[in-house]
Chains A and B, each alone.
Chain A
């Protein structure tokens, strides 16, 4: 069964450093998403991406964040200068219609 994959599973970084989180969506899906879950809080929407451009973004998704689909398979989330409060689980998801399928997540720890 096709699934969304994410790498790395855990990323530790120093405050102020750039990180890139990688995702491989399900191959025939056209819509891609990033969500995050801070420990003890709800899963929060960050950004959606369709047809090589951002279709929606939340208030969390400020200028420090960017997304890219550099080739036909990968979908990346870049955080330019990480802050302590960026520590969270980051989930990638993809869909072809309404049902979104999630990857296993990347745990980002900012020290």
Chain B
């Protein structure tokens, strides 16, 4: 089941620079997309979301972009901080599927001081 894919298992970025995490999906019924951050031995922490009626949503240092025609979304973190080092998951849901989340495999972000 590869409905949501994160093709980069890891990403290394210098502190202060931009981090760009990417996610692709195949199911055209998905209408809501979320990004979660996860530390080891903890549950996923909600970061930011976007509805399919929008193409951009910003919250502080975090911006999510949605390209529906390409079935692609990305998370931008500017500026990156060492505390951002974690695994980032994108997830998608469809209104007609009880809001169950389908997760990507995650990207490990390392922000170097």
Contact = CB atoms under 8 A, between A and B. Distances in A.
Answer whether A and B are interacting partners. yes
Interface of A: 4, 6, 31, 33, 35, 42-45, 48, 50, 55-56, 58, 91, 93, 95, 98-105
Contacts, number: 58
Interface stretch (B11-19, B21-29, B91-99): B91-99
B102 interface: yes
Interface SS majority for chain A: strand
Nearest to A106: B43
22 contacts: A4-B43, A6-B43, A33-B100, A42-B104, A43-B89, A43-B101, A45-B100, A48-B99, A55-B98, A56-B98, A56-B100, A58-B100, A93-B43, A98-B49, A98-B99, A100-B99, A102-B36, A102-B43, A102-B45, A104-B41, A104-B42, A105-B42
B43 A104 contact: yes
Contact of B102 (A45, A91, A95, A98): A45
Contacts of A42: 103-106
Contacts of A103: 43
A31 B99 contact: yes
A98 B32 CA distance: 8
A48 B100 CA distance: 7
Given A43-B44, A55-B98, A99 B103 contact: no
Contact of A43 (B97, B99, B103): B103
